[in-house]
Amino acid sequence: MLPDAPIGVFDSGIGGLTVLAALMKALPHERFMYLGDTARLPYGTKTAQTVIRYAEQAAEALVRHGVKCLVVACNTAASVGLDAVRARAGALPVIGVIEPGAQAACAATSSGHIAVIATEATVRGGAYQRAILERRADARVQQLATQMLVALAEEGLVDGPVARVVVNHYLGPLFAADPPDTLVLGCTHFPALAPTIREVVGPKINIVDSALTTAAAVRDQLLAAGIARTAGSQSVQFIATDGPERFARAGSRFLGRTIEARRVELIDL
Amino acid sequence: MLPDAPIGVFDSGIGGLTVLAALMKALPHERFMYLGDTARLPYGTKTAQTVIRYAEQAAEALVRHGVKCLVVACNTAASVGLDAVRARAGALPVIGVIEPGAQAACAATSSGHIAVIATEATVRGGAYQRAILERRADARVQQLATQMLVALAEEGLVDGPVARVVVNHYLGPLFAADPPDTLVLGCTHFPALAPTIREVVGPKINIVDSALTTAAAVRDQLLAAGIARTAGSQSVQFIATDGPERFARAGSRFLGRTIEARRVELIDL
């Protein structure tokens, strides 16, 4: 596998672009290929069985495109489908967002009381809880499915009264009495809402976004495997299974830079 | 085609159960087969091309199951995919929710100023606007995509402060100055939010839900085709493409009666 091959990043849609943004910052010489399964999003409300099947198909498509490693940038897919993706990836390194997120949470917490907000499917899968308890057996993990936050982020309603009321609906009770000292944003859509979340939970809570630690984990694995690209300019190729216009419009907000719809390739999985 | 064959009803997920509820009330002797494409929901944020493909597959599945007519209970699918469904249905009657909704809106309005709230894809397709203008050429139609209302209804957050703030976010500006006299609920998820919508728009606005007029249209077509079932007890069979548990749990709210998860058949489209 050549260092010049692209890093494959996949997500159910556009949320994973927050992870891509962190990867692009950490790895300035790499080529990236980002696949968003926009025809079938969201994964977060679907069963493990269906999410696994979709994740396998996405992984196979990226492997066919010649990527050198796979980043599962969707918490739901990483939570329930990482083993299935590894089985499809052969010898390629596969990095999910759950392990780095759990690692960051354990590094941040003092009390060991950690809250995880995520999609229904991620909560049901329980992967964050397992990953945190493996690192810190005395941790107390509270998981909460916060499905409406996905819709808020997708609509770009990330601040203002609507966002505040919805965030408070979920997090108000959780942080009222006996609050956790650390909050894991267990869905790649949620960093867009971080300022509003901060307003609701107050200044003292550690807010953990797995994007940064995931980017560090990817860099370490590429170096260890001897396939990091250390010179040359960065590039990104976007692939979606539906709606290049919506991908470009909503995705630009998540990536923090403009995506042009005509540069988004449409494929069928 | 025998009167004893079931009426096929399909939707992207569970919203169409509000239409099924109206059908069950209007047609007490019929057998029903309801298909929710829960593995690929929602349709409302996807392109016409993708929605058409999914609608064709759902229609084919119901035709294979031997239905005597097809009700497209999803506004998005009816808005962009009705012709494609007709092409797959052969001689079977096909009834969408758009035409009956437009008819009800024209019957309700005095001023001719009508607002339609719907999904992104339904608004983009413009089918409500066309159907209303065909009936009343001087009508003034305002369409608004209100995607967050789908998430609210799916989560069961249909009243209380969260619902009120989100509904007001969309409808407050629309009903502030020069308000329409009629509001069409152009998505089968929205009737669940009707009491909150009523609170926001006030007591004078006509709120049109196409479920009732769709049920009347189905009854008329069955009678005209000589395939109505006029005796025998009612029955319903549920089919979903993912998550019988979630279908049963969230679906029971939309149908207004309990659905048991073990009675939901799982198929692949």
pLDDT single digits (tens) B204-242: 999 999 899 999 999 999 999 999 999 999 999 999 999
Number of residues that make up chain B = 269
Distance CA B9, CA B190 (A): 18
Cα within 13 Å of Cα(B101), Cβ side:
34
The CATH number of the domain covering residues in A7-97+212-266: 3.40.50.1860
Q: Which CATH architecture has domain A99-210?
A: 3-Layer(aba) Sandwich (3.40)
| Chain-chain contact of A47 with B161 (C-beta, under 8 angstroms) | no
Distance between B24 CA and the closest CA of chain A, angstroms? 28
The β-bridge partners of A72 are A10, A96
pTM here is 0.93
Contacts of A168 (CB under 8 A, 6+ apart): A200
Sites in chain A below the pLDDT cut of 70? 1
Exposed e or buried b for every residue in A187-208, given b needs 16+ CB within 10 A?
Answer: bbbbbbbeebbeebbeeebbeb
| Residue ranges covered by each domain of chain B | 7-96+212-266, 99-210
Fold match between domain B7-96+212-266 and domain B99-210: yes
Distance CA A218, CA A59 (A): 16
Alpha-carbon distances, residue A38 vs A41, A134, B110 (angstroms) = 5, 33, 41
Distance between B166 CA and the closest CA of chain A, angstroms? 6
Q: From the candidates A157, A162, A245, which should be mutated to test the interface with B, based on the most B CB atoms within 10 A?
A: A162
Contacts of B35 (CB under 8 A, 6+ apart): B8, B9, B10, B11, B58, B61, B62, B239, B240, B267
Q: E strands along B42-81, which residues?
A: 69-72
A162 → closest Cβ in B41, B169, B243? B169
Active site residue B187: yes
Distance CA A45, CA A125 (A): 12
User: Per-residue pLDDT averaged across B4-29, rounded?
Assistant: 97
Tell me which fold the domain B7-96+212-266 belongs to.
Rossmann fold (3.40.50)
- The pLDDT assigned to A192 comes to 93
Contacts of A114 (CB under 8 A, 6+ apart): A105, A106, A132, A139, A140, A141, A142, A180, A181, A182, A183, A184
Distance CA B191, CA A184 (A): 35
Residues of A acting as catalytic residues:
74, 187
Q: From the candidates B169, B170, B245, which should be mutated to test the interface with A, based on the most A CB atoms within 10 A?
A: B169
* Portion of chain B with pLDDT greater than 70, in percent: 100
- Categorize the per-residue pLDDT at B176 as very low, low, confident or very high, splitting at 50, 70 and 90: very high
User: Per-residue pLDDT averaged across B62-66, rounded?
Assistant: 97
Distance CA B75, CA A175 (A): 39
Q: B252 at the A interface (CB within 8 A)?
A: no
| Chain-chain contact of B47 with A169 (C-beta, under 8 angstroms) | no
Q: From the candidates B162, B196, B241, B266, which should be mutated to test the interface with A, based on the most A CB atoms within 10 A?
A: B162
Distance CA B52, CA B82 (A): 8
Distance CA B17, CA A74 (A): 30
What are the percentages of helix, strand and coil residues in chain B, rounded to 5?
50, 15, 30
- The pLDDT assigned to B140 comes to 98
Q: A87 at the B interface (CB within 8 A)?
A: no
B46 → closest Cβ in A154, A169, A242? A242
Strands B69-72 and B206-209: unpaired
Distance CA B116, CA B97 (A): 13
Q: A37 at the B interface (CB within 8 A)?
A: no
Distance CA A89, CA A63 (A): 7
By C-alpha distance, which of B95, B112, B63 is closest to B211? B95
> What letter does residue B96 receive in the DSSP assignment?
E
Check B7, B74, B97, B201 and give the catalytic one: B74
User: Per-residue pLDDT averaged across B9-34, rounded?
Assistant: 97
- The pLDDT assigned to A1 comes to 66
User: Per-residue pLDDT averaged across B142-149, rounded?
Assistant: 96
Average pLDDT, chain A: 96
Counting beta carbons within 10 angstroms of the beta carbon of residue A8, is it exposed (0 to 12), middle (13 to 18) or buried (19 or more)? buried
Q: Could you tell me if the ipTM is greater than 0.85?
A: yes
Exposed e or buried b for every residue in B40-55, given b needs 16+ CB within 10 A?
Answer: bbbbbbbbbebbbbbb
Q: Is residue B128's pLDDT more than 90?
A: yes
- The pLDDT assigned to B1 comes to 65
- Categorize the per-residue pLDDT at B75 as very low, low, confident or very high, splitting at 50, 70 and 90: very high
Average pLDDT, chain B: 96
- Categorize the per-residue pLDDT at B2 as very low, low, confident or very high, splitting at 50, 70 and 90: confident
Alpha-carbon distances, residue B249 vs B36, B74, B259 (angstroms) = 14, 19, 7
